[in-house]
Structure 1
């Protein structure tokens, strides 16, 4: 793949991104279920310039991460199940909200720590991993990149803001019944 950062989003793309994030922040929550919310989150992440993503949610037992939404990846990616206890990096990411940016400088250190199925999907040296929490309880993991190319700074900033919008949407949704 071309190793230049993708061009920055156009004005129209930024307007779409803002609109999607505003929808995520709406109160009361406009979402009827978490599938609906996750689909909106996927669209917002794509609109901020990411080209491939996985949005994984914890199962009811909090043992495994299962794909809620995917984009830009092979169809098989949607059946991915990652046991949290089997991977120290997943344990750390799921212990508290945070973000890990894999770069050429730290790729050797972190890529080997990724669960093999995730590493197979995101082979590049430019990947963002963000754990999403509601009231200090991590409930989802977002993994995204720009097609293995270097990440555009504006897209990294927008990814962070989008993640905050998703967390807020999850909080509002979780508290919708009082």
Structure 2
């Protein structure tokens, strides 16, 4: 008899593919964080282009207005030199240390009516080209569909 893979193995595979897709669309550094059921903790599920210590990062969303807003409903924040001063103080220091530039994308992705993943990506601190932003948007749409499909499996 075949044994059903654990749900954890499936989410690791899904987020691993998401990480690879983000790097393939030009994101040099990316972090994929998974929320717990109560959205009281964000834990790194996958990373690329970041120091090894990034894999152990855990964030408390209650300590950041930006994280609270992104977890309250799906959305995106694009940091630019024009708005970095406004938002920088609202982002946890350990996250700013991993993404020290003023060109960063933060995107929350829903599943089953609540935000399940938070993506953070940049192009090594360089400004985003329009084609890179389009590729990021399309890639996120694919990740959303895959997460939605994953969330409804076994129902």
Do both proteins adopt the same fold according to a TM-score greater than 0.5, normalized to the shorter chain? yes
The whole-number CA distance in structure 2 between the counterparts of 1:123 and 1:112 is: 12
The whole-number CA distance in structure 1 between the counterparts of 2:110 and 2:134 is: 18
Structure 2: gaps spanning 5 or more residues: 1-8
**Once the 2 structures are TM-superposed, how far is the Cα of residue 99 of structure 1 from its aligned partner?**
0.7
Secondary structure in structure 1 of the residue aligned to 2:115: strand
Higher relative contact order by CA 8 Å / sep ≥ 6: 1 or 2? 1
CA RMSD of aligned residues (A): 1.4
Which deviations, in whole Å up to 9, do the C-alpha atoms of 1:81-100 show, x marking residues without a partner? 00111211110010111111
TM-score (norm 1): 0.80
Q: Hey, what does 1:170 align to over in structure 2?
A: 147
Q: Hey, what does 1:117 align to over in structure 2?
A: 94
TM-score (norm 2): 0.91
Kept in 1: contact 2:30–2:120 (CA 8 A): yes
Which deviations, in whole Å up to 9, do the C-alpha atoms of 1:32-58 show, x marking residues without a partner? 610000000000000111000000001
Q: Hey, what does 1:126 align to over in structure 2?
A: 103
**Once the 2 structures are TM-superposed, how far is the Cα of residue 62 of structure 1 from its aligned partner?**
2.2
How many aligned positions are there? 148
